[in-house]
Structure 1
Amino acid sequence: MTARHAPGIEPRLVTDRPLDLAAEQERGTYGPATCADVIAELEAAGLRGRGGAGFPAHIKWRGVAEAAGPRVVVANGEEGEPSSHKDRWLLTHRPHLVLDGLLLAARTVGADRAVVYLSHVETETAVRAAIAELGPVTGVRLDVHVVEPTYVAGDETAVCRSISGGPALPTARPPRVGEKGVDGLPTLVSNVETLAHAAWISRHGAAGYRAHGSTESPGTTLVTLSGACARPGVYEVPYGLTVAQLFELAGGFTSAPAGFLMGGWFGGLLGPVHAETCCTYEDVRGAGSGLGCAAITALGSHEDPIAVAAGISAWYAAESAQQCGVCVKGTASIRDAFASLDAGTASATDRDNLARWGQTLRGRGACAFLDGAATWARTVLAEFPQHLDQNDSTDQNDSTVSDTEGERHEGNR
């Protein structure tokens, strides 16, 4: 995918070509931090994690820095979100900036091991070439760990489990990885874009970072725009533009949008009225969705939101780690209900179940995967009532997921 930036800003991450070590050093990459306290500077900048949760970066960094004993830092580049391409672009075009942020994190939290966690051939090739170009790093063991690309492999507990020699599957919390991660050591897992921003902030400062964006959502971010637009791609933008303004950067809509997949496939589906919603954490959350990994797909006027929901809920059922009973049953039940809606055979029970699951299934299971499926149930029913099938079937086939069902299948702990 191509990458561009919004007019009126000096891009911090986007470049018109891949940068080698010499080109990066000309930009200050691997240069010394200009702030006395990197973690305090990240806090002042308001940097949030770019992996999907939007958690304040400084809290994770500080937690690991204050832990006792050996520590590990991980650059998470396992981009399992189907609609997102920003991490792959960053790793293939600016791997040195990511490594700069990773080594900065290692020095800041006192880690003696740093790992780049990947799942795509092109990113592995680029990162290994950058590491070879960089040469030995004093005081830090720098590794690359490659896994098969799946959605759940990017969960931070799955990251640590895989690097430790296990399967790339999530584990229950607590403990959190900041307490017990890779090989049982306190581990900082940061998305690769988060680390690139951290490296930039360490040299340009919090005030420079806040020159763009809003008070609550400062800075710039990489968004992946796709679907019904003329120029799909990765764009570096300041927080605060509306959805419509973002798609203007991508050449505009190719048809009147029928809705928006917000924050990747995890944020559910919002109606076309949200073209005027500002892309900040607070505004998108207020709209009932989330920015997630900042991937937005515009549905074309010919696309049926219910058919899209049926397809993506089937993907959720297939991508489940199959570890937690409530997730296995919940994703399958949401899939089946949307399939019935799409086929025009849904009963009132199907719609009632979707409405209930959209609320009761959030926060269940070892990881947040089930939350995404529940968000689809909640947002589609709320945003597209006119598209719901009005079939008055009295079929009462019960696919209810019990709120008290055991969290895991026996034997899969």
Structure 2
Amino acid sequence: MTLTTTTALDTSLALDTSRALAATAGHAPGIEPRLAVDRPLDLAAERERGTYGLPTCPDVIAELEAAGLRGRGGAGFPAHIKWRGVAEADGLRVVVANGEEGEPSSYKDRWLLTYRPHLVLDGLLLAARTVGADRAVVYLSHPETETAVRAAIAELDSAAPATPAAGVRLDVHVVEPTYVAGDETAVCRSISGGPALPTARPPRVGEKGVDGLPTLVSNVETLAHAAWIARNGAAAYRDHGTAESPGTTLVTLSGACGRPGVYEVPYGLTVAELFEIAGGFTSRPAGFLMGGWFGGLLGPAHAETVCTYEDVRAAGSGLGCGAITALHADQDPLAVAAEVSAWYAAESAQQCGVCVKGTASIRDAFASLDAGTATAKDRDNLARWGQTLPGRGACAFLDGAATWARTVLTEFPEHIGADGTANADDSGN
């Protein structure tokens, strides 16, 4: 699969969505893919694979717990906890498939929604039945995903003699693509008729979400895996991966990559092994953007980091949405940090003073470093912000910007002099 790369900042850090739909997903050798296919599947093709079949387990939530399924939207939260919380709530309930995917370097949700929309709907309707919801919403922000999902719903509506969606109101809700629109509080706020902007917690959306009702918001890949687990069982799900990070996952690989694109892989491979599946590195990587743009920037030695939740967290980053961008050998980490931090400042929801000021300050400090005009104070401020800003915003957006402040200073100290200025040889070569 060959994709070009571009971003709103006109850099080479994220996938070009205008060409990505022509691509198919690959998968790691030695695994029977659960999600990856080589063509979009219609209802008939999905049913041949067992999609919309009844669960084989007596307790879906218990099976998700046994499988160790974690959310694929970025936080990696155990899926069974969210499902059980909504299932135990009183009154009417709502379930939402979150396919907004505002992360610039990730394409896996859009791929899944265009190639396997029925598997996502299968997981969404399974969630509705399991938690007792009578309303299910697919939350989207990209035209190609809306077209694919609406076509899949039309197929369901015309299915005879009975549709898998019987008894559930199935809606599609479309918003403008922004990073913060994918936050689960923003999801519920938008579906309820408000702006797609985060709200303060508590309450959690599992307690008070869409229209004030307990709401389960799950990433579309999470729902696809849940549907697979319900039919194949937790033990089969654990055939791949590790004990603490079981199963397979979709990753988006880009940058200095032979075949950029979306791949289904088991947890437990190193970063270098993932890129080997995608044609290998096209140059010696100067660093890695981990977990999309939320996990900061890790140094080139992390090619040997094992991709599990635990190992990547121990490395000071996170798997997030499963997107990894390898910087080309001639890319300057400080220039990349300046561009990404500028993106963070521009994408802020502008609702929290600490986020507005924090993202702008990080942007300005990195801009000074990149321009060679920084001082020791800029360096010290970045170090302080990297430690003190996480957790202070209404949502986690500020945490991502702070992670860049922390990781660039800790991972690339040779690029920044003691006085805060960029070293003369800051190219990593």
- Superposition TM-score tier, normalisation by shorter sequence: over 0.9
Is contact 2:181-2:198 (8 Å) kept? Answer: yes
CA contact (8 A) 2:294 2:403 kept: yes
In the TM superposition, what is the alpha-carbon distance from 1:139 to its structure 2 partner? 1.0
Tell whether 2:48 aligns with 1:22: no
Deviation string for 1:218-255 (max 9, x for gaps)? 00000000000110000000000000000001111010
Number of the residue aligned with 1:43: 65
What SS does structure 2 have at the residue aligned with 1:266? Answer: coil
Preserved CA contact (<8 Å) 1:259 1:270: yes
Matches within 5 A, 1:268-287: 268-287=296-315
Of 93, 108, 125 in structure 2, the residue corresponding to residue 71 of structure 1 is 93
Equivalent residue of 2:226, what SS? helix
Distance in 1 (alpha carbons) for counterparts of 2:385 and 2:302: 24
Return the match for 2:271 from 207, 222, 243. Answer: 243
Three-state SS of the structure 1 residue aligned to 2:293 is helix
Letter in 2 for 1:72: V
Mapping of residues 3-402 of structure 1, within 5 Å: 3-135=25-157, 137-389=165-417, 391=419
Partner of 1:87: helix, strand, or coil? helix
Contact 2:379/2:420 (<8 A) preserved: no
Task: Give the corresponding residue for 2:5.
Answer: none
Shift in Å, 1:19: 0.2
Find the aligned partners of 1:183 and 1:389 in 2 and give their Cα distance.
Answer: 53
Q: Output the CA distance in 1 between the equivalents of 2:292 and 2:244.
A: 21
Q: How far apart are the structure 2 equivalents of 1:174 and 1:189?
A: 16
Amino-acid identity (%): 87
CA shift for structure 1 position 138: 1.4
Is there any run of 5+ residues in structure 1 with no aligned partner, and where? 394-413
CA apart distance, 1:196: 0.1
1:263–1:290 CA contact under 8 A, matched in 2: yes
Letter in 1 for 2:177: P
- Look up the SS of the partner of 1:264 in the other structure: coil
- 1:388 Cα shift? 1.4
Kept in 2: contact 1:243–1:278 (CA 8 A): yes
Q: Which moved more, 1:129-138 or 1:21-30?
A: 129-138
Is residue 284–residue 291 contact of structure 1 (8 Å, CA) maintained in 2? yes
Residue in 2 aligned with 1:408?
none
Paired with 1:74 and 1:196, the residues of 2 have a C-alpha distance of: 13
User: Secondary structure of the equivalent of 2:364?
Assistant: helix
Between the aligned partners of 2:166 and 2:41, the Cα distance in structure 1 is: 23
Partners in 2 of 1:91 and 1:388 — Cα distance?
Answer: 43
- Is the CA contact 1:341–1:389 (under 8 Å) kept in the aligned structure 2? no
Contact 1:230 1:252 in 2 (8 A): yes
CA contact (8 A) 2:108 2:250 kept: yes
**Distance change >3 Å, CA 392–CA 310, structure 1 → 2:** closer
CA contact (8 A) 2:362 2:401 kept: yes
Task: Give 1:392 shift.
Answer: 6.6
Amino acid of the structure 1 residue aligned with 2:41? L
Total equivalences in the alignment: 393
TM-aligned CA deviation for residue 90 of structure 1 = 0.1
Q: Deviations over 1:49-102 (max 9, x none)?
A: 000000000000000000000000000000100000000000000000000000
Deviation readout 1:162-204 (Å, 9 max, x if unpaired): 0000000000000000000000000000000000000000000
Q: Which residue of 1 aligns with 2:160?
A: none
Query: Could you tell me how far 1:389 is from its partner in structure 2?
Result: 4.6
- Higher mean alpha-carbon deviation, 132-141 vs 244-253, is at 132-141
State the one-letter code of the partner of 2:173.
H
State the SS of the aligned residue for 2:403. Answer: helix
- How far does residue 345 in structure 1 lie from its aligned partner after superposition? 0.6
Give the secondary-structure state (helix, strand or coil) at the position aligned to 2:233.
Answer: helix
C-alpha separation in 2, matches of 1:20 and 1:39: 28
**Offset from partner CA, 1:254-301 (integer Å, 9 cap, x none):** 100000000000000000000000000000000000000000000010
**Structure 1: distance between partners of 2:296 and 2:420:** 26
Structure 1 CA distance for aligned equivalents of residues 90 and 117 of structure 2: 30
**8 A Cα contact 2:377 2:420, kept in partner:** no
Contact 2:206/2:215 (8 A) holds in 1: yes
CA RMSD in angstroms comes to 0.8
Cα distance between partner residues in 2 of 1:50 and 1:389: 38
Instruction: Report the TM-score when normalising by structure 1.
Output: 0.94
- Secondary structure at the aligned position of 1:222 is classed as strand
| Separation in structure 2 between the aligned mates of residue 38 and residue 230 of structure 1, nearest angstrom | 40
CA contact (8 A) 1:104 1:199 kept: yes
For the 8 Å contact 2:258–2:282, the answer to whether it is kept is yes
Instruction: Report Cα offsets for 1:288-320 as digits up to 9, x if no partner.
Output: 000000000000100000000000000000000
